[in-house]
Structure 1
Amino acid sequence: MDRRSFATLIATVGPLLASGCALADNWPAKPLKLIVPYAAGGPTDAIARIIGTKMAASLGQAVVVDNRAGAGGTIGVDATAKAAADGYSFALVAPGPLAGMPNLTKVPYTLDELEFLTLAARIPSVIVVNRKSGITSIEQLIAKAKAAPDTLNYSSAGAGTTPHIGFELFKRETGAAIVHVPYKGAAPAISAVLSGEVQMTMVDLLPILPFAANGNLVVLAVAGKTRAPQLPDVPTTVELGLSNVQMETTYGLVAPKGIPAAVQAKLRDAAVKAIGSPEMKAQFLKQGALAATSTGAEYRSLMQAESDKWRGVIASAKIKLD
């Protein structure tokens, strides 16, 4: 590069670097918006509000939760991708709009439009049955399903959701013929099991804890490698020999692509500090979740692996949107 070209480069890039540093020095100068791509009152919303409160205390600015529900979480993720890249908008997301929906339909964003900041929490999925079903173990469930194919039903929160993908993994691994009955959301899917409309479901741990405690639902297994601290006597699918049946809801924080590096570092550091605090870990446990942090690259890689897994199940089970 000759002297004139170098001078031109400095003249062009210098002001941009200076403005980025100035923005970082003054950030945050106003409240932040934490987008939740789901309705208020759900597990994602609850976790977001815990994170937002803790981050606000360290940043000295309010963190306002903005619920943008609809289209399997894609509306909220699209709003995040299209937001100004100034560090004032970010989102807490589950795997669905990152790993699931892009394999089911055309979404209005790409993952390249997002900055992956850090993991935030993991909530294990569990396989549960209505206590009146008489099923008390995974082995009994498999035997009953094989003895009378297509007579047992399982509910999900809708086509392509985590419970749907998870149970199709279970069916593929065990050869059990169980009929899928989709509902419009996790709450009605759980209600269907409680009422006996269907016999079982795979669902996040949090919403079924009260029903497991009062005996209306029987938790047969945790879909993963590690037992849930809230249910230490419940075996995992890996322990039961179903190593490919691993499903959890992994929450993480994403932001619009292009945030100045110094601002992004401040935003991520505030989130990691909040999530890693003892108070946060204790609050997460009450929500049936485990606090978890990572680098942005690790989080992106995890979502790519999840996308690959979901794509295979969607193809083999011929899953389509309702």
Structure 2
Amino acid sequence: MAITRRKTLARCLPLIALAAACGMGGAQAQDSYPSKPIRVIVPYPAGGGTDTIARLIGTQLSQRLGQPVVVENKPGASGILGNDIVAKAPGDGYTVLMGITALVQIPALYKKVPYKLGDLAPVSQIAKSADLLMVPRSSGVTTLQQFVDKAKAAPGTLNYGSYGNATSSHMNGERFKQKAGIDITHIPYQGSGPEMAALLGGQLTLAFVDATGAYPHIKSDKVNILAITGSQRHPALPQVPTMTESGYPGLEANGWFGMFVPASTPKAIVDKLGAEVASIVKSPELNKRLTDMGLIAVGSLPDDLKAQVDKDAAHWKSVAESARISMD
């Protein structure tokens, strides 16, 4: 028996030593991180909301971590190019992605994607947004039910605008049509700016406008805001009901901005980054900047964003499949 125990112990010792080394390695990685500049990949052009948020976070992160944080814009293929750069980068915490909701929608919209969603590890959800359902005030429509009744009375004669094909607004619009049982024509625009201009100009009878794009116009006397997508009312528009409150559930998913790193990144580094970003977002300065952009600040930790990603990926896949929305 003694010999057997000695043999068993002999076999276990290398494993115990390896486990201890891995634990120490993770702790050492966290303690020494970062020791060089960090680059934040923005998969969209400079000047947009994603870029702005990346630079705001990057400035604060640099001050906290004592290393330069460089924002690099890598637009292309609806964000796939930039996402792929980070998914295939070394898992050392020095390449970070500033992602948006499209990250979890892409697998449902494209047949071939060069990376898997699981190749990226969530770090922190920075902020969330939603789409506002807006109509020209001249239409006389003041509630969502009035619009639905009007659409049912004249099938195929009304329209709705989105800020682009296969965007959240397009998918929300198609889900709304299904839930309401109405026939309205989709008109896509290249962004919320042109879409908002078309609504104000009377070319649209309804528009799903991102809250950030609609924010400068929420008090305009030319529009009525009927409802908002997402899971909660917007703090700046407490009187505007959610789609669920209006009787049309199934549009509870929010848009969001979040940071990710390659999945092979040590958990100690992911947790350290997540804690720093969450703290930055919850600071009065960043909170106000995000609020001024029409966003709702979040500042979550990695596990919370992971749960959100899993939930949203399933939701948008269901919407894309049922509405037959595809980019292929």
TM-score for both structures, normalised by structure 1: 0.90
The question of 1:123 aligning with 2:129 is answered: yes
Identity %: 36
Deviation at 1:298? 2.8
2:252 maps to which residue? Answer: 246
The question of 1:104 aligning with 2:114 is answered: no
Q: Give secondary structure in 2 for the equivalent of 1:213.
A: coil
The Cα offsets for residues 251-291 of structure 1, whole Å up to 9 and x where unpaired, read as: 22110111123222221221111112222222211111111
Aligned mate of 1:85, from 71, 91, 94: 91
- Cα distance in 1 for partners of 2:24, 2:89 equals 22
2:187 maps to which residue? Answer: 181
- Cα distance in 2 for partners of 1:254, 1:132 equals 44
- Cα distance in 2 for partners of 1:308, 1:11 equals 41
Q: How has the CA–CA distance of structure 1 residues 132 and 321 changed in structure 2, closer, same or farther, with 3 Å as cutoff? A: farther
Aligned mate of 1:140, from 138, 146, 149: 146
The question of 1:71 aligning with 2:77 is answered: yes
1:164 maps to which residue? Answer: 170
- Cα distance in 1 for partners of 2:251, 2:118 equals 29
Deviation at 1:216? 3.4
The question of 1:219 aligning with 2:236 is answered: no
The question of 1:190 aligning with 2:201 is answered: no
Q: Structure 1: which 5+ residue stretches go unaligned?
A: none
- Cα distance in 1 for partners of 2:68, 2:138 equals 48
Q: How has the CA–CA distance of structure 1 residues 264 and 317 changed in structure 2, closer, same or farther, with 3 Å as cutoff? A: closer
The answer to whether the Cα contact below 8 Å between 2:91 and 2:263 also exists between their aligned partners in 1 is yes
The Cα offsets for residues 59-95 of structure 1, whole Å up to 9 and x where unpaired, read as: 1222222222222222221111111211111112112
The Cα offsets for residues 237-264 of structure 1, whole Å up to 9 and x where unpaired, read as: 2322223232421222110111123222
Deviation at 1:178? 1.0
The question of 1:288 aligning with 2:294 is answered: yes
The answer to whether the Cα contact below 8 Å between 1:163 and 1:203 also exists between their aligned partners in 2 is yes
The Cα offsets for residues 151-190 of structure 1, whole Å up to 9 and x where unpaired, read as: 1111223322100111112111111211112233333333
The answer to whether the Cα contact below 8 Å between 1:93 and 1:254 also exists between their aligned partners in 2 is yes
Deviation at 1:11? 7.1
Q: Give secondary structure in 1 for the equivalent of 2:130.
A: strand
Q: Structure 2: which 5+ residue stretches go unaligned?
A: 1-6
* Structure 2 counterpart of 1:124, one-letter code: A
TM-score for both structures, normalised by structure 2: 0.88
Aligned mate of 1:94, from 87, 100, 110: 100
Q: Larger C-alpha radius of gyration, 1 or 2?
A: 2
Deviation at 1:6? 4.0
Deviation at 1:317? 1.5
Q: Give secondary structure in 1 for the equivalent of 2:256.
A: strand
The question of 1:36 aligning with 2:42 is answered: yes
The answer to whether the Cα contact below 8 Å between 1:124 and 1:204 also exists between their aligned partners in 2 is yes
Deviation at 1:103? 0.8
RMSD (Å) for aligned C-alpha atoms: 2.3
* Structure 2 counterpart of 1:271, one-letter code: V
The answer to whether the Cα contact below 8 Å between 2:253 and 2:312 also exists between their aligned partners in 1 is no
The answer to whether the Cα contact below 8 Å between 2:40 and 2:95 also exists between their aligned partners in 1 is yes
The answer to whether the Cα contact below 8 Å between 1:225 and 1:239 also exists between their aligned partners in 2 is no
Deviation at 1:18? 5.5
2:321 maps to which residue? Answer: 315
Aligned mate of 1:257, from 263, 277, 288: 263
Q: How has the CA–CA distance of structure 1 residues 319 and 85 changed in structure 2, closer, same or farther, with 3 Å as cutoff? A: same
